[in-house]
């Protein structure tokens, strides 16, 4: 793929020129380096902004070789210590989920975060002017394992971009969307690398101009433990919506005890027995336009829709039929047939069990002291 914009034809019949979808490759700039120099030294030797398009690479190494600016941003990020996060104000998402937040409409959420998994990867997007941010936790199962034609990563990123654009409103055209990707250490099977390439392809398939700031995956998120085995550097990621700063983070409260407490609170609320967690934590996104949601696989979702549609048709057909009930008055679903024993010794076993039974002929209990007739 060259640096020029690619034209994608939607294979749904013949398309006219007005139906062509122009796709703009992502860009890389020296703006992040400019900000780092200002933060560290109070000044910068960069006198003008430089931007260029990012061509789709042959592999991850090709991507890193052609984009030294991103590599420099990666090294700066992984050299930053992890910040332990408190629960207050943090909207934490788990695997295969996504959330977008605007601190202007919901001041209850000040931080978006997620834990950095082994082969999963976290995508953080933010608008340079509106300060609206979105975070998504992408795993292997929702992307390449279902095939590239499903475009699970592309659809997930499109949702993030659409939500950012909607909340940015008047500030949308004053800036652009900056993208950072974290996670995915160098594993033996190469699962993380395939995940990373799928994300890169999804970034190249978007219509909006995007700036890649970090792509902290593979060798930039891998160290060796004392046994010489690869392990990830990053524990978790967070973005502060007030400062727009993205940083390595840890979540000490994201453990089994916390998960159990959330399950208990959910049970108490649903059963009408009160709650065990504060309402502020439960309703953190009540002011947000977009709520946290699952990153669905398009193929799976389409199959589910088809199944639901077929179920509705079948329910209409069966509605006129008499519904059978069991001895307790419950509806009987389906036409289940009794199991037919396949063993040749079944009859013999039944006879032996019947022979073991003792006949019981209990007489009615008579009241003590009652007169006989």
pLDDT tens digits for 66-122?
Answer: 999 999 999 999 999 999 999 889 999 988 899 999 999 999 999 999 997 788 999
Q: Provide the percentage of residues in the chain whose pLDDT is more than 90.
A: 42
Q: Report the pLDDT averaged over residues 187-206.
A: 90
Q: Is residue 265 over pLDDT 90?
A: no
- Which of 198-202, 306-310, 348-352 has the highest average model confidence (pLDDT)? 198-202
User: Left (φ > 0), alpha (ψ -120 to 50) or beta: where does 271 sit?
Assistant: alpha
| Packing angle of the helix pair 152-168, 298-318 (nearest 10 deg) | 90
Token code pair at residue 116: 């950095």
Question: What pLDDT does 350 receive?
Answer: 60
204 three-state secondary structure: helix
- Reading the block at residue 194, the tokens are 């395939």
pLDDT of res. 19: 43
Q: What torsion, rounded to 10 degrees, do the Cα atoms 67, 173, 155, 97 define?
A: 90
Under the banding of pLDDT at 50, 70 and 90, the label for residue 142 is low
pLDDT value at residue 96: 87
Residues 82, 78: Cα–Cα separation, whole Å: 9
Least confident of 63-72, 100-109, 120-129, 354-363: 354-363
Domains of the chain and CATH, by start = 21-300 (3.30.1330.200)
Q: Which of 113-117, 239-243, 287-291, 366-370 has the highest mean pLDDT?
A: 239-243
Give the C-alpha distances (Å, rounded to integers) separating 349 from 75, 337, 339, 359.
72, 22, 16, 19
Give the bridge partners for 8, in sequence order: 21
Beta-strand ranges (E) seen in 233-292 are 236-240, 245-250
CB 190 within 8 A of CB 230: no
Categorize the per-residue pLDDT at 14 as very low, low, confident or very high, splitting at 50, 70 and 90: very low
Helix, strand, coil percentages in the chain from 3-state DSSP, rounded to 5: 35, 20, 45
d(C-alpha 3, C-alpha 23), whole Å: 11
Question: In the predicted model, is pLDDT for residue 346 greater than 80?
Answer: no
Mean pLDDT, range 31-53, rounded to an integer: 88
Q: What is the pLDDT of residue 302?
A: 58
In contact, 262 and 268? CB cutoff 8 Å: no
CB 237 within 8 A of CB 246: yes
Question: For position 85, what pLDDT does the model report?
Answer: 93
Query: Given a cut of 60, is residue 315 above it in pLDDT?
Result: no
Q: Residue 18 is encoded by which pair of tokens?
A: 């007005």
The pLDDT-based confidence of 35 (bands split at 50, 70, 90) is: confident
Convert the pLDDT of each residue in 208-248 to its tens digit. 889 999 999 999 999 999 999 999 999 999 999 999 999 99
- Residues 25-40 have a mean pLDDT of 88
Query: Which is higher by pLDDT, 348 or 78?
Result: 78
């Amino acid at each position: 793929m060259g640096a020029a914009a690619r034209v994608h034809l939607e294979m749904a019949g013949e398309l006219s020129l007005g139906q062509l979808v122009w796709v703009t490759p992502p860009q890389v700039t020296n703006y992040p380096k400019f900000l780092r120099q200002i933060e560290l030294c109070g000044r910068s030797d960069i006198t003008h902004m430089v931007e260029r398009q990012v061509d789709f690479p042959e592999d991850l190494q090709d991507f890193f070789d052609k984009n030294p600016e991103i590599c420099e941003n990666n090294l700066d990020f992984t050299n930053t210590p992890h910040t332990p996060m408190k629960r207050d104000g943090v909207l934490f998402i788990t695997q295969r989920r996504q959330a977008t937040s605007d601190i202007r409409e919901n001041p209850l959420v000040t931080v978006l975060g997620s834990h950095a998994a082994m082969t999963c990867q976290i995508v953080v997007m933010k608008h340079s002017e509106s300060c609206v941010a979105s975070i998504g936790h992408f795993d292997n199962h929702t992307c390449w394992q279902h095939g590239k034609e499903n475009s699970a990563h592309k659809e997930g990123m499109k949702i993030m971009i659409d939500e950012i654009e909607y909340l940015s409103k008047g500030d949308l055209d004053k800036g652009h969307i900056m993208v950072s990707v974290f996670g995915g250490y160098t594993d033996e099977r190469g699962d993380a690398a395939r995940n990373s390439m799928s994300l890169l392809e999804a970034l190249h398939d978007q219509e909006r101009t995007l700036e890649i700031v970090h792509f902290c995956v593979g060798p930039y998120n891998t160290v060796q433990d004392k046994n010489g085995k690869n392990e990830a550097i990053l524990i978790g990621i967070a973005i502060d919506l007030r400062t727009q700063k993205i940083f390595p983070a840890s979540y000490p409260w994201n453990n089994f005890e916390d998960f159990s407490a959330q399950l208990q609170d959910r049970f108490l609320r649903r059963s009408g027995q009160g709650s065990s967690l504060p309402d502020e934590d439960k309703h953190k996104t009540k002011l947000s336009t977009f709520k946290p949601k699952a990153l669905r696989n398009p193929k799976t979702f389409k199959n589910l829709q088809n199944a639901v549609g077929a179920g509705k048709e079948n329910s209409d057909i069966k509605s006129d039929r008499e519904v059978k009930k069991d001895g307790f008055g419950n509806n009987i679903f389906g036409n289940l047939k009794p199991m037919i024993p396949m063993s040749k010794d079944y009859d013999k076993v039944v006879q032996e069990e019947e022979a073991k039974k003792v006949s019981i002929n209990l007489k009615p209990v008579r009241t003590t002291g009652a007169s006989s007739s």
